[in-house]
Amino acid sequence: MAMTRAQFRENGNLICDGYLLKDLAVGGVQWLERNKEQVNQLNVFPVPDGDTGTNMLLTMRGAFGQIADIEEPHVGRLSKAFADGALRHARGNSGVILSQIWAGVARALDGHELLDASSVADACVSAVDWAYRAVEKPVEGTILTVSRDIKDAVVQKTEKQHDLVSILKTMVFAGRSSLRRTPDMLPLLKKAGVVDSGGQGLVFILEGMLRALCGKDISLVDVAVPILGQQAETWQEALVPEDEEGYGYDVQFLMHGRDMDVAKVRTDINAMGWSTLVVGDSNLIKVHVHVHNPAEPLNYAISSGADIDDVVVENMHRQYEQYVQARADREGDVLTETEGVGVITVATGKGMKRLFAQELGAAYVITGGQTMNPSTGDFLAAIDKIPNNDIILLPNNKNVLLSARQAAEQEQHKQVRVVPSATVPQGIAAMFEYVNAANMEPPATLDDTTEMMTETLSQVVTGEITRATRDVEIDGLEVRAGQFIGLIDDVLKVAGNDLTQVARDLLRMADASRFERVTLYYGEGIGESDARAMVAILADSFPDLEFEVISGGQPLYPYIISIE
């Protein structure tokens, strides 16, 4: 009879069988899957290739694949199957270490029909032992440290407490707190302004298991990213490879054979490269090594007489370059020192960012918007980064509003308010009022400033021109893919093949003649002379309007138009 959560509770939360353990494994995999990008973002050690989350997830999925189709009430046998799957599908440094953690767990649980407090403690001790042994030269401030701190906490906790929910909670809390200490142990993390990615992955897995055990819905809840507050000024420098030849290749394969000597293989492989992980037994060995010449370890394995399998060779230097580029794109964020109330806003495009930061005095501009929605974590990180204690979040996009609201709710130490700007022109109008509030004597309070800024949002009408990505018919308006479309306050109003015609129709639909001023923020690919030529034509149709042309540099939208 399979144990459900209800039966688990009837047993005083003291014992768990294979069925329930499988549910927990599902929770761990799903939670990691949901948060894998966050883990990728943290990845700077040992190679900043941004794939730790992906590798750990592939490892976990492979492990789960081994138990997905079996009904196994026996905890020991289930763990063994899971660990075998992990070993077979382990990817990357963290994946291999993770597979060793499960191998250690499986070894400790061997023969156990049910899981209880003391077997959890034994499993942790064994897991940490295996994890440390998997690495030639253990480095502190990594998943190893996090796993050891979790083990220490569990061993202490289980001396008095036998409730499995409490024990799993202890694991999560110990993991999180250990994670926060990783930058103090590993200077590279501190320089790069992150916590250890592998450790974070492990914490996500345990959190998922805890959520499963408590019956929480895994798929909907969001969590904050624990990126550290103090942003490294020179994370790029911190990540430059020490080796002149670059980061080299990541080589992984399985060796099938008989009477193989794991210790000897480990020594030999280690001589060829670095970040060596060689684990397994006399019949099956998983090799992971970083080398400049991928042929060397492969030749070694083949000439040793073993069959090789699951060969993966990755060019880490290229991954590193891609990671740096991706992070640089994200880190186009702009921090400006401001006093009093500070505004954190969201913009994309050089001109837009400059406008918000330099002209309008935003304390922090997060790169993003329609195509790249900043997360709650991005807002929390920005809140942490600016010195201001009174903060207003200005999302400038309705898809970003929710993250901003959540960040405002989650922030513990600073006063945070949200001015719900849905468009960039609304954000600019609000920033004008922010400047006025800040220049008052004495400067307006946080709440007054929020109110003043919020009041301005309704005073501006936003027009946006972009291209349709597919054929569509909305309210009788037929649009073909590739045509220009015009939106007024986020509602599709006009379409056509001629940009100027669409702009003119859009101004008409917005009843622009009732207003005073039209500002065109021209985007990527549009020159100032293009914009001015268009304004000259528009001015003929709207002689009483004042027109203004500003370089926005935003992608995808040739024009963002403010009508006020």
Binding site for another protein (CB under 8 A): 354-355, 359, 428-429, 432, 435-436, 439, 459, 515-517, 519, 546, 548, 550, 564
Beta carbon of residue 432, minimum distance to another protein (angstroms, whole number): 6
CB of 415 to another protein, least distance (A): 24
User: Which of residues 60 and 355 has its CB atom nearest to another protein in the complex?
Assistant: 355
Which helix (H) or strand (E) segment holds residue 40: the answer is helix 18-42
- Nearer to another protein by C-beta: 175 or 427? 427
Distance CA 413, CA 393 (A): 15
Least distance to another protein from the beta carbon of 438, Å? 11
- Cβ proximity to another protein: between 421 and 519 the closer is 519
The nearest distance, CB 62 to another protein, in angstroms, is: 54
CA dihedral 7, 9, 12, 16 (to 10 degrees): 60
Please give the DSSP secondary-structure letter assigned to residue 457. Answer: G
Tell me the one-letter amino acid at 460: V
Rounded-to-integer distance, Cα 228 and Cα 225, Å: 9
Long-range contacts of 289-296 (CB under 8 A, 24+ apart): 289/251, 289/252, 290/46, 290/47, 290/247, 290/248, 290/249, 290/250, 290/251, 290/316, 291/248, 291/249, 291/251, 292/243, 292/245, 292/248, 292/249, 293/249, 294/249, 294/251, 296/272
Q: What is the rounded CA–CA span in Å between residue 445 and residue 457?
A: 19
Helix, strand, or coil here: 549? strand
The least distance separating another protein from the CB of residue 359, rounded to whole angstroms, comes to: 5
Pick the closer one to another protein by CB: 227 or 538.
538
Q: Which is nearer to another protein, 233 or 516 (CB)?
A: 516
Measured from the CB of residue 358, what is the shortest distance to another protein in angstroms? Answer: 8
* Least distance in angstroms from the C-beta of 562 to another protein: 8
**Contact between residue 437 and residue 449 where contact means Cβ atoms under 8 Å apart:** yes
Q: Which is nearer to another protein, 366 or 550 (CB)?
A: 550
Q: Which is nearer to another protein, 150 or 526 (CB)?
A: 526
Residues 6 or more apart whose Cβ sits within 8 Å of residue 306? 255, 256, 257, 260, 285
Minimum distance between the CB of residue 437 and another protein, rounded to whole angstroms?
A: 9
β-bridge partners, 548: 519
CB 441, min distance to another protein, A: 9
Give the Cα separation of 329 and 380 in Å (integer). 19
> Among residues 281 and 548, whose Cβ is nearest to another protein?
548
Tokens encoding 487: 């939106």
Smallest distance, another protein to C-beta of residue 277, A: 55
Nearer to another protein, 476 or 543 (CB): 543
436 versus 445: smaller Cβ distance to another protein: 436
Q: How far is the CB of 364 from another protein (least distance, A)?
A: 20
CA distance 178 to 158: 19
Counts of helices then strands in the chain (DSSP H, E): 21, 17
Contact between 397 and 366 under an 8 Å Cβ cutoff? The reply is no
CB 286 within 8 A of CB 102: no
| C-beta of 53 vs 553, nearer to another protein | 553
Q: What angle do CA 85, 89, 90 make, to 5 degrees?
A: 110
CA dihedral 464, 465, 469, 473 (to 10 degrees): 80
